[in-house]
Amino acid sequence: MQELDLELIRKEIDKADSQLAEVLEKRLQLVMQVAAYKKSKGMPVKDKNREAKVIAKVASLLENKDYSIAVKNIMRGIIDQACVLEETALAEPSDRTFEVACFGPAGSFTHQALEDFFRGRKFNRHHYNTFEEVITSISHGDMDYAVLPIENSSTGGITEVYDLLRQYDCHIVGEQCVKIEQNLLGCEGATLQSIKTVYSHPQGFKQSKDFFRDYPHMEQIPFFSTSKSAEEVAEKQDITLGAVAGKAAADLYNLKIIAPAINSNNNNYTRFIIIAKRPEIIPNANKITLIVAVKHETGSLYKMLASFYHTGLNLMNLESRPMVGKSWEYFFFIDVTGNLSDPLVADVIDEVRSKSTYVKILGNYRAYEKKE
């Protein structure tokens, strides 16, 4: 009798788990599309007759197949839960008050993005000091939504946020852009000459690097956020301290704008993402964000990306992040136009899967459109 190879068996289990996850994700997306269609047509989401038919069909299929009792029980549980999801998806009451997590304290640019995106809806705002605290509030189910900065037009992607999106269980359901104007703030009596130490989030410093070349005597101290930096200066009331932050933070903490608009790029925007625990199907969604990994061999990335080109989908952004424990291998974060309910787009995603070793769809949502 051939000796069993435990590591080989475990690899096969991992492979089966990956395939199972992909099938369940596909079924979930289809179920959410059904719910979205029903809501758009004014149809009742709950349909007991349909639920009974689905369960009966699956029961019949299981009894006619040579599956083990364990597999049959697992399948019945999956279908039961899927039917519950179909009944409840997108059936939230319109007057519900949402709990929304925000990176940084009041007066931050993230705060502004949150207010802009959720305008007209009822929500309670909760502030967190770190990106990871914000994302774990979603992953653990404490918050309904969260708002995080992910990309700046001057400094590029915010790598920590990309890494956390892959690490934690959450989905992108929307985006908001905010024009960023950084200012040097100080307390009453502070001047460009008196300020020796400046606090800000690293992004605030990166966006204002040209300004600080002219003031080498100012020590730059990285802080939790731009608004938290302003709060720190306001509390200490020290004319040797300054903060790089927005006008809203200056107004909120009663600080003076010592030097206005110090960001190097006048066309300076930050893109914020809205995340949730579960994916949401949005009928007019036109942007997809996914994470992909390919084989570490010649041409593998080109072949995967060619799938988008040959079908005419616009590749809007591509970010690479290193795989921990694998030198020179990367996860690729991709933004591409499209709606997952479009058969052509679905075919492209299937083709990408066939050319990749890992695919995770983070969300299909509506791209930000500037309101005139």
Q: Looking up tokens 């309910």, which residue turns up?
A: 341
337 annotated active-site: no
HEC profile of 141-198: CCCCEEEEEEEECCCEECHHHHHHHHHCCCEEEEEEEEECCCEEEECCCCCCCCCCEE
270 annotated active-site: yes
Active-site entry in 110, 155, 226, 270: 270
Alpha-carbon distance of 135 to 103, in angstroms, equals: 10
Nearest to 150 by CA among 281, 321, 326: 321
Active-site entry in 272, 308, 332, 333: 272
Q: Looking up tokens 């007209």, which residue turns up?
A: 120
Q: Is-contact 310 269, C-beta < 8 A?
A: no
Alpha-carbon distance of 220 to 364, in angstroms, equals: 39
Rg (CA), the chain: 25
Nearest to 34 by CA among 86, 82, 93: 86
Phi, psi of 267 (to 5 degrees): -100, 60
Q: How many helices (H) and strands (E) does the chain have?
A: 12, 15
Q: Is-contact 167 275, C-beta < 8 A?
A: no
Nearest to 112 by CA among 245, 284, 222: 245
**Residues catalogued as catalytic:** 270, 272
